[in-house]
Amino acid sequence: MTQAAYRYAIYLSPSGPLRTFGNQWLGRDADTGATLPAPGDRPAVPADWVSAPARYGLHATLKPPFRLAPGANGAMVDATARDLARRQAPFDAPLALRALRGFVAWGLADGGSPPMQVLADACVLAFEPLRAPPSAQELARRTPHQLTDAERRMLDAWGYPYVFGTFVFHITLTGMLDPASQRAAIAQLEAASGKLLQSPLQVDRISVFVQPAAGENFVVARHYGFDGSTADGAGAAYLGA
């Protein structure tokens, strides 16, 4: 019997030059779980900037991490991801660097993207039958007293504050920073990666990431191309297929 991971998540995982740069910036490759050395041709990234997002790997959240509901298993996550990916069409999403809720991320350049919203909504709904309700401790970590009314309703209904009408696409590049550190991080990112954002993000796959055990880093289980192709990562065994 295939062992279930502690948590599963549905992410948008960039490919190509954005992936290469983002992995190097975070110092970790979520496909393999390997720690990456800092490139020698640019300033080192302070560890306290990236230690939090590096645990999750380079990604944008589509369906936030969840524990499996009773009766659900990794093979069901895999089958749902395959079916959902096959029903999507590729699209481009221009990106821009920005500060968001105290951290720095790549976000949508125009502030919104109907295809991205449709994809995110579809991911939330498709995997909902497989999600166990969050524990009281998990809900508390979302600091519900700091959320808007709309965000609190989303947390109560879907286990995450930022879905559907409160969804904001972002690829997280730092943890929570004070204003001065945010400005420094943005300046360093602009100098090192500004040219990468001249080309849009190509959205042509979704990915299942897994957290093998509580407190461990997330790793890629499998990427699912919209053309039906798949590519396994270090956590593929947790999908039971």
- pLDDT tens profile 200-213: 999 999 999 999 99
| Six token digits for residue 65 | 């991490």
In a domain, 148, yes or no: no
In a domain, 2, yes or no: no
In a domain, 147, yes or no: no
**Domain, as residue range, for 19:** 7-135+165-239
Average pLDDT in the chain? 95
Q: Residue 95: is its pLDDT beyond 90?
A: yes
In a domain, 234, yes or no: yes
Angle, CA 65 vertex, CA 2 and CA 69 arms, to 5°: 55
205-239 pLDDT per residue, tens:
999 999 999 999 999 999 999 999 999 999 999 99
Query: Can you count the helices (H) and strands (E) in the chain?
Result: 7, 12
Q: Residue 146: is its pLDDT beyond 70?
A: yes
In a domain, 157, yes or no: no
* pLDDT of amino acid 211: 98
Q: Which amino acid is at 196?
A: L
Q: Residue 111: is its pLDDT beyond 80?
A: no
CATH number reported for the structural domain that contains residue 87 in this entry: 3.90.1140.10
User: Between 59 and 38, whose confidence is greater?
Assistant: 59
Cβ-based neighbour number of residue 42 at 10 Å? 14
* pLDDT of amino acid 3: 86
Q: How confident is the model at residue 112 (pLDDT cuts 50, 70, 90)?
A: confident
Q: Residue 174: is its pLDDT beyond 70?
A: yes
* pLDDT of amino acid 50: 97
177-195 pLDDT per residue, tens:
999 999 999 999 999 998 9
In a domain, 100, yes or no: yes
Q: How confident is the model at residue 117 (pLDDT cuts 50, 70, 90)?
A: very high
* pLDDT of amino acid 42: 81
Q: How confident is the model at residue 41 (pLDDT cuts 50, 70, 90)?
A: confident
Q: Residue 1: is its pLDDT beyond 70?
A: no
The set of residues, in sequence order, having a beta carbon less than 8 Å from that of 178 and lying 6+ positions away, is: none
Q: Residue 160: is its pLDDT beyond 80?
A: yes
In a domain, 159, yes or no: no
The set of residues, in sequence order, having a beta carbon less than 8 Å from that of 143 and lying 6+ positions away, is: none
Q: How confident is the model at residue 130 (pLDDT cuts 50, 70, 90)?
A: very high
Instruction: Give the number of domains in the chain.
Output: 1
In a domain, 49, yes or no: yes
The set of residues, in sequence order, having a beta carbon less than 8 Å from that of 224 and lying 6+ positions away, is: 81, 82, 84, 85, 205, 206, 207, 208, 230
* pLDDT of amino acid 77: 98
b/e map of 83-118 (b: 16 or more CB within 10 Å)?
Answer: ebbeebeebebebebbbeeebbbbbbbeeebeebee
